[in-house]
């Protein structure tokens, strides 16, 4: 059997990189791409070790564990034991998920591709059948993509919607700071850009902008385009929505420069968001003044984070 080592190594490197990024996504970890690339490079070296006397050692369970630990340390570093162990166990979990998906596809298509100890090779003679390599090259990203989607859904369901988040909305040089409720029922998105919409009480705008600006925003239907304030015209849009049991409505919205959401000691920053303006109070007790779209918390966090 002939094995094209360079092709096998390159494929293995790509697989390791995808697994590490999926691990970071599942745990919402901050990571540097260069560190993940280095970790994937280190992980893919096992291809060459398999053809050295070290192969017998690397097939030992303790050696595999140490090798995996080194990969995780390179990719995410070490902060505390709980942080490290979560990274390591999640790495194994996503590996089993992706490997299981390939295993299922393998039996479905009856290919000759084998995934063994992180090393992808063709069990046919020579370079391998065209179909088997197409299966590997297309199958792994496909399984990775669907695994990524499912992990996002799991993360979405795990969010604690009873907790409040601190929200910072920047529009020009003005920063609006308030508490927001993370509401799973808020699935409002701009139909064109698909950006999520945060619903904000109009009273918060009145504290930072002239009354005429806020009035024009709330009564946009009665204001001709040429009569609108320059500030509104530059950032204004409308978002169609439909409440339960009600007809279709239109919500006035603004495009902020940036939005920051602090939740569970993590900071989520996005520019891809709209601020919908609600004239009425959102909380009868005044505990919060905006409703945060949960998709904002599915993005990559920056800043301080817990293990």
Which residues are annotated as catalytic?
Answer: 183
Query: What span, in angstroms and rounded, lies between the C-alpha atoms of 18 and 147?
Result: 11
Q: CA 146: distance to chain centroid?
A: 13
Beta bridge partners of 238: 252
Give helix 81-109 / helix 5-27 axis angle, nearest 10°: 120
Query: What span, in angstroms and rounded, lies between the C-alpha atoms of 140 and 272?
Result: 30
Beta bridge partners of 192: none
Q: SS3 of 71, please?
A: helix
For residue 247, report the phi and psi dihedrals to the nearest 5 degrees.
-75, 170
Query: What span, in angstroms and rounded, lies between the C-alpha atoms of 176 and 167?
Result: 8
The single-letter DSSP state of residue 224 is -
- Could you tell me the CA-to-CA distances from 115 to 45, 121, 211, 274, 290 in Å, in that order? 16, 7, 65, 45, 49
């Amino acid at each position: 059997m002939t094995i094209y080592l360079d092709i096998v190594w390159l494929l293995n490197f790509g697989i390791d990189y995808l697994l590490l990024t999926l691990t970071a996504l599942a745990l919402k970890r901050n990571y540097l791409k260069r560190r993940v690339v280095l970790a994937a490079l280190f992980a893919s070296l096992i291809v060459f070790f398999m053809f050295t006397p070290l192969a017998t050692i690397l097939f030992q369970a303790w050696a595999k564990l140490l090798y995996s630990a080194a990969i995780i340390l390179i990719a995410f570093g070490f902060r505390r034991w709980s942080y490290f162990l979560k990274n390591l166990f999640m790495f194994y979990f996503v590996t089993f998920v992706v490997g299981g998906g390939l295993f299922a596809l393998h039996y479905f298509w009856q290919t000759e591709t084998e995934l063994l100890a992180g090393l992808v090779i063709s069990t046919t003679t020579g370079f391998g059948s065209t179909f088997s390599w197409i299966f590997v090259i297309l199958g792994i990203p496909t399984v990775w993509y669907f695994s990524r989607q499912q992990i996002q859904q799991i993360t979405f369901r795990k969010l604690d919607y009873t907790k409040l988040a601190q929200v910072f909305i920047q529009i020009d040089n003005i920063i609006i700071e308030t508490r927001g409720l993370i509401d799973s029922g808020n699935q409002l998105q701009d139909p064109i850009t698909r950006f999520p919409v945060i619903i904000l009480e109009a009273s918060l705008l009145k504290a930072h902008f002239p009354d005429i600006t806020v009035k024009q925003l709330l009564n946009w239907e009665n204001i001709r385009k040429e009569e609108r304030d320059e500030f509104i015209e530059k950032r204004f849009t409308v978002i169609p929505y439909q409440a339960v049991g009600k007809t279709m409505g239109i919500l006035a919205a603004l495009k902020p420069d940036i939005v920051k959401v602090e939740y569970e000691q993590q900071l989520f920053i996005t520019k891809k968001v709209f601020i919908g303006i609600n004239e009425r109070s959102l909380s009868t007790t005044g505990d919060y003044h905006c409703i945060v779209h949960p998709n904002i918390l599915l993005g990559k966090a920056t800043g301080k984070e817990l293990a």
